[in-house]
Amino acid sequence: EPEVTQTPSHQVTQMGQEVILRCVPISNHLYFYWYRQILGQKVEFLVSFYNNEISEKSEIFDDQFSVERPDGSNFTLKIRSTKLEDSAMYFCASSGSGLDYFGPGTRLLVL
């Protein structure tokens, strides 16, 4: 069965550093998403991406965040200058036929 993959599974970084989280969506999907889940809280939508541009973003997704599809397979989330409160699990998802498939997540810890 096709699956969404994410790398790395864990990332530890210092406050103020840039991080790039990577995702490989399912190959024939056209819609891509990033979500995050702060420990013990609900999953929150960050951004959706379609046709090589952002289609929707939440108020969480401020100027420190950016997304890119640099080639035909990868979908990345960049956090420019990490803050302590960015510590969370970040999930990538892709959608086809109305069903969302989630990756296993990247656990980001900002120290």
Partner 1 sequence: SQQGEEDPQALSIQEGENATMNCSYKTSINNLQWYRQNSGRGLVHLILIRSNEREKHSGRLRVTLDTSKKSSSLLITASRAADTASYFCATDAGGTSYGKLTFGQGTILTVHP
CB closer to partner 1 out of 28 and 80: 28
DSSP string, 40-96: TS-EEEEEEEETTEEEEE-TT--TTEEEE--SSS-EEEEESS--GGG-EEEEEEEEE
Other C-beta atoms lying within 10 Å of the C-beta of residue 103: 25
The CB-of-93 to partner 1 minimum distance in angstroms stands at 8
| Footprint on this chain of partner 1 (rule: CB under 8 A) | 31, 33, 35, 41-45, 48, 50, 55-56, 89, 91, 93, 95, 98-105, 107
What φ, ψ does residue 32 adopt, rounded to 5°? -130, 150
The CB-of-51 to partner 1 minimum distance in angstroms stands at 12
The CB-of-31 to partner 1 minimum distance in angstroms stands at 5
The CB-of-28 to partner 1 minimum distance in angstroms stands at 14
CB closer to partner 1 out of 48 and 82: 48
* Cα dihedral sign, 61-77-74-70: positive
CB closer to partner 1 out of 16 and 54: 54
